[in-house]
C-alpha cells in the first residue's frame, strides 16, 4: 500500500564533470526514502543499478556530513553508512539544506550533484515519481567514468580511430550521446528492486 503524501520534492540531478552537461529533473513524493530516491535517479538517468551507490549529505541535526546507501564498512569515509531504506529524504533535504552528492559505481565513480530545487504541492492525477526534463544520454555502464566516456565518444565518432570498430561492437552498433526523451523514462517499484537486490 502506497503512503499518502501532499508534497513533492523536485530535484535536479547532474552528472558531475560531464561536458556538455548530462542532467535530469525529477519529482518524487515527500515520503520517499533514500533508497526510493536512488531507484528514481537510476531510472531517470538510465543506469542499470548493477553497482553500489552512496549519498553524501549534511545531517541538519548535527551539521556533519554523513553517508547513506548500502552499509559496507570498507567504503565508508565518514563512519558508518546508514541504510537508505530507513532514512527519509524529508529528514535531510530542505530549502536550507538542498544539496547532496550521489556516487554510483565505486569503480567508475560516477558522481552526481543532487539539488533540491522546489517543494511543491502534489498534482492530482499525476503518478510519482516522474521525470519532467533532461538532457543527453546516460553513458554506458562500465565505460570507465567521465573520462572513459569522453574517450569512448571520440572512438565511436571517428571512423579512423583505432578503437572505432571495437567500441561500436561493444555498444551494440550505435550510440547517440545527444538523445534523451522524457517519454522513454519508466520507474521501477523500489520495494521490488530491493527484494531482488538482497535475495
pLDDT confidence of residue 71: 85
The three three-digit cell numbers of residue 160, written as one number: 579512423
Number of other residues whose CB lies within 10 A of the CB of residue 146 = 18
For the stretch 167-180, pLDDT in tens is 988 888 888 999 99
Q: What is the pLDDT of residue 172?
A: 86
Spatial distance between the Cα atoms of 81 and 54, rounded to a whole number of angstroms: 8
Contact (Cβ atoms closer than 8 angstroms) between residue 145 and residue 104: no
The whole-angstrom separation of Cα 51 and Cα 109 is 10
Angstrom distance (rounded) from CA 16 to CA 18: 6
In order of 1, 30, 119, the CA distances from 4 in angstroms are 9, 9, 16
Q: E strands within the chain?
A: 7-15, 23-29, 53-59, 64-69, 81-83, 99-104, 110-121, 130-135
Task: List the one residue out of 106, 70, 86, 100 whose CA is nearest residue 33.
Answer: 86
All domains of the chain, ordered by start, with CATH? 7-136+180-197 (3.10.290.30), 140-179 (no CATH)
In this prediction, residue 160 carries a pLDDT of 86
The predicted structure's pLDDT at residue 73: 59
Whole-number pLDDT of residue 78: 55
Under-50 pLDDT residues of the chain: 1
C-beta neighbour count of 128 within 10 angstroms: 19
pTM of the model: 0.92
- 47-64 confidence digits (pLDDT tens): 999 889 999 999 999 999
Asked if the peptide bond before residue 11 counts as cis, ω within 30 degrees of 0, the response is no
Amino acid at each position: 500500500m502506497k503512503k499518502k503524501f501532499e508534497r513533492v520534492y523536485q530535484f535536479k540531478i547532474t552528472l558531475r564533470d560531464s561536458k556538455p552537461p548530462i542532467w535530469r529533473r525529477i519529482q518524487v513524493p515527500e515520503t520517499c526514502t533514500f533508497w526510493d530516491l536512488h531507484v528514481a535517479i537510476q531510472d531517470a538517468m538510465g543506469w542499470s543499478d548493477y553497482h553500489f551507490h552512496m549519498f553524501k549529505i549534511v545531517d541538519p541535526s548535527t551539521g556533519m556530513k554523513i553517508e547513506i546507501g548500502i552499509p559496507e564498512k570498507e567504503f565508508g569515509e565518514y563512519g558508518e553508512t546508514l541504510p537508505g531504506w530507513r532514512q527519509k529524504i524529508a529528514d535531510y533535504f530542505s530549502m536550507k539544506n538542498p544539496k547532496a552528492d550521489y556516487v554510483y559505481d565505486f569503480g567508475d565513480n560516477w558522481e552526481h550533484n543532487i539539488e533540491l530545487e522546489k517543494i511543491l504541492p502534489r498534482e492530482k492525477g499525476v503518478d510519482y515519481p516522474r521525470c519532467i526534463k533532461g538532457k543527453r544520454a546516460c553513458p554506458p555502464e562500465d565505460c570507465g567514468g567521465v573520462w572513459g566516456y569522453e574517450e569512448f565518444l571520440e572512438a565511436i565518432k571517428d571512423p579512423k580511430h583505432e578503437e572505432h570498430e571495437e567500441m561500436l561492437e561493444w555498444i551494440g552498433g550505435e550510440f547517440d550521446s545527444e538523445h534523451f526523451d522524457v517519454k522513454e523514462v519508466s520507474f521501477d517499484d523500489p520495494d521490488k528492486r530491493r527484494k531482488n537486490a538482497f535475495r
